[in-house]
Structure 1
Amino acid sequence: MVSTYASYAAITRDLNLSLERVEKQPFVERETEYYLEAIGKVKTIDDFVGDRRLFAYAMKAHGLEDMTYAKAFMVKVLEGGVDERDSFANTLSDKRYREFAETYNFARHGETATIFTRAQQGAVDNYLRQTLEQDAGTSNEAVRLALYFERKAPEITSMYEILADTALSKVVRTSLGLPDSFALLDVDKQVEFLGSKIDIEDFAEPEALSKLITRFTSMWDVQNQTGSGVANVGILFSQPAQFGISTDLMLTMQQLKA
């Protein structure tokens, strides 16, 4: 059986080549062609969410595929934009909604919102990366988690952000050999403990990040070999917070402490 790290390394050794393989998949090729042809013609939010195929591509590109059905919710995200501090997208703890509203910024740019690179090739690049990670997860959930952590880590500025993201927190707990029940502890105690073990600034350093991912993949394999339960990666990447702790509450607590 190929180790988790070997599978991860096979993808990341030449990431561009891995992404090119994804891009050439027939389904991906068709959907990308349609997206690039259609997105520049979109002038309104209604046009955008009204095109099911186009909207689904955009949602997957931002890691929001599971919320594609929630069109009314996403319309609210788009209508508020991101310029006002109290806009709907800015009040949500999940950064993906803000990023979505920034990419398709109808509130700021109106009819020209979809002509910018971030809404066209930028979205395609994101879609390819999301597909790469999902494909990797079909054979080994830990490879998807490792790829996701690698992508998100440089953006992390707070331990609360890790705890608010079930996938990120799974990687950290596994790398430190902590049981999932660790998440039942008081949030401040979790932050204190994790802060004593991990320096978030290291996430921006490729060498340090590589060491953490190597440890995670090794620990994952050890735990699986000893009969530990394998995480349901679909749940880890879904919306609801685990263990009854609201992600909004955790990030609010962080803001109060700032």
Structure 2
Amino acid sequence: MSFQVSVGATGYAGWKILQRTRDAQISAMSREPAIVRSRAYVAEKLPSIASAEQLVGDYRLLQVTLGAYGLEVDQKNKFFVQKVLAEGVTGEGAFSARLSDKRYAAMAREFAFDTDTPNTTDAAFADKLFSQYLDREFERRVGETDQNLRLALNAQREVANLAARPSSDNTKWYEILGNTPLRKVFEGAFGFGSNYARLPIDRQLAEFKNKAQSMFGSSEVASFSKPENLDKLIKTYLVRSQLTGGVTQSPYSAALSILKG
């Protein structure tokens, strides 16, 4: 029987409960027999994988890999995933670098199949990969109760990672604008409707940066490295989502379809 994640409440109250209980609940989930078997399988098999073709050919490894990056919807798109992984990110015109969703580039970079020694040969990489998978699986189960909270958990991780990157500020904002689940959290927190997506991209960028400046005193994505700013973003999103009906409404359907496996 699968471990049932306990949310306890909806909206920001549920968020505070999750923040207190998340580690304990993930620990309990990790003891689930199916999870234990998957961890053992990854630890045994992944270090012997030397190519993208081998990885894609192993259903269980592919399932965990895609789950670790929130890309479960690509389970059947084996040729696509293999191309992403095989070309990596270092070669000129690498496939993953041309995709707007940067999760693919992150996956390709971390596996490093385009190098002489892919990271799969390092036993520590299997542990790291499975830890990421557990985090995402926890979020997926939270979403079975409250999809707003799933989007918030996704944003908590992704925004923090994005804020810490050395990329230019505009590049970071364009990643937010191009990542549907992440964009919906910002749109919700900023009070923007889905019609903003119809504006020219440079106008969208200006609107998002102006709103960030007014709400957080800075238009830079790096400002979300401050816990108080990230918490304010998520709190505002959750409160406004409760007031408006949130992700149960049609503007959010695209974001949720991406997050669902």
Match of 2:204 in 1: 190
Task: Label 1:86 to 1:61 Cα distance change in 2 as closer, same or farther (>3 A).
Answer: same
Q: Show the counterpart of 1:151.
A: 157
List runs of 5+ in structure 1 lacking aligned partners. Answer: 239-258
Q: Which residue of 2 aligns with 1:138?
A: 144
Which runs of 4 or more aligned residues in structure 1 lie more than 4 Å from their structure 2 counterparts after TM superposition? 227-230
Give CA deviations for 1:204-245 in whole Å, capped at 9, x if unaligned.
1111111111111111111129x965833532537xxxxxxx
Q: Which of 10, 13, 19 is equivalent to 2:20?
A: 13
Q: Are the equivalent residues in 1 in contact too, given 2:43–2:123 (CA < 8 A)? A: no
Task: Quote the residue 1:222 is aligned against.
Answer: 243
What amino acid is aligned across from residue 11 of structure 1 in structure 2? L
Contact 2:188/2:240 (<8 A) preserved: yes
Q: Describe the superposition over 1:167-206 as per-residue Cα deviations: whole angstroms up to 9, x where unpaired.
A: 1111111112222222222222221111111132321111
Aligned mates of 1:229, 1:50 — CA distance in 2: 36
Counterpart position of 1:234: 256
Listed as ranges, the gaps of 5+ residues in structure 2 are 1-7, 164-168, 213-218
**2:190 corresponds to 1:176:** yes
Q: 1:166, 1:237 within 8 Å by CA — same for their partners in 2?
A: no
| C-alpha distance in 2 between matches for 1:91 and 1:123 | 24
Aligned alpha-carbon RMSD (Å): 2.3
Question: Is the 8 Å Cα contact of residues 114 and 120 (structure 1) preserved in structure 2?
Answer: yes
Amino acid at match of 1:73: F
Aligned AA (1:203): F
Distance of aligned partners of 1:19 and 1:196 in 2 relative to their CA distance in 1, 3 Å threshold: same
- The alignment covers a number of residue pairs equal to 236
Deviation at 1:14, TM superposition (A): 4.4
| Equivalent position to 1:167, from 168, 172, 181 | 181
**Aligned residues of 2:89 and 2:105 also touching (Cα < 8 A):** yes
Equivalents in 1 of 2:123, 2:108: separation in Å?
14
Matches within 5 A, 1:26-175: 26-110=33-117, 113-116=119-122, 119-154=125-160, 155-156=162-163, 157=169, 158-175=172-189
Tell me the CA shift for residue 84 of structure 1: 2.2
- The SS at the match of 1:40 is helix
The residue type equivalent to 2:230 in the other structure is L
Amino acid at match of 2:16: A
- In the aligned structure 2, how far is the partner of 1:219 from the partner of 1:44? 46
